[in-house]
Amino acid sequence: MPQIFRAVAYVPPAEAGTAFDLAVLPHDERRVRRRLITLVHGDQVLVDFPQPVTLEDRSALRLEDGRLAEIIAGEEWLYDVRGRDPAHLLRLAWHLGNRHLKAQVEADRILILRDHVIRTMLLGLGATVTEISEPFHPEEGAYAHAHAEPAHALLNR
């Protein structure tokens, strides 16, 4: 019978040891503060942290009993966007950012979630767009951190 365990800490990838089970999560389920996560063998982990945490690929959650539940970044349906040269890729990044799209920016490509309207726009701008499936690690953006400063108090609501 599946059980529910409570997570007491986030363990970064470099410190994670051997896990008793794991969860495969898409990018939008890896940013957590309070959530119930289902592990591959059916048990669940309750995450209830004071501040949001981004669960990195190969990180872990330490449970009350000391065991670890590993977090794996699941594959997602993406577009691999490439420009003719670095300046063209920069212009493509600007257009994607102007539309507030989640993007994983790398030296020679940008990964975005599949959207046929955006694909058409990118092709019209001269981009090479390829359908791929791999883990997605989008930039969190300037406002993803906790807002404990009094001037940002309204952002916490």
Residue type, 3: Q
Residue 151: Cβ-neighbour burial (10 angstroms; 0-12, 13-18, 19+): exposed
Query: In the prediction, which pLDDT does 143 show?
Result: 59
Tokens of 145: 């951190």
Confirm whether pTM is higher than 0.75. yes
Indicate the CATH number for domain 4-73. Answer: 2.60.260.20
User: Does 49 score more than 80 pLDDT?
Assistant: yes
Q: Are 110 and 93 in contact (CB under 8 A)?
A: yes
DSSP string, 21-60: EEEEE-GGGSEEEEEEEE-TTS-EEEEEEEEEEE--TTEE
C-alpha Rg value of the chain to the nearest Å = 18
145: DSSP letter: S
Report the share of the chain in percent with pLDDT over 90.
86
Ranges of CATH 2.60.260.20 domains, the chain? 4-73
Give the mean model confidence (pLDDT) for residues 114-129: 98
Query: In the prediction, which pLDDT does 145 show?
Result: 55
Which CATH superfamily, name and number, covers 75-135? UreE, C-terminal domain (3.30.70.790)
Instruction: Tell me how far apart the alpha carbons of residues 115 and 23 are, in angstroms, rounded to a whole number.
Output: 26
Ranges of CATH 3.30.70.790 domains, the chain? 75-135
Which band of pLDDT confidence, cut at 50, 70 and 90, is reported for residue 115? Answer: very high
pLDDT, tens only, 122-147: 999 999 999 999 999 999 876 555 44
The secondary structure element, H or E, covering residue 120 is: helix 116-124
Query: In the prediction, which pLDDT does 150 show?
Result: 44
Residue type, 14: A
Instruction: Tell me how far apart the alpha carbons of residues 80 and 11 are, in angstroms, rounded to a whole number.
Output: 30
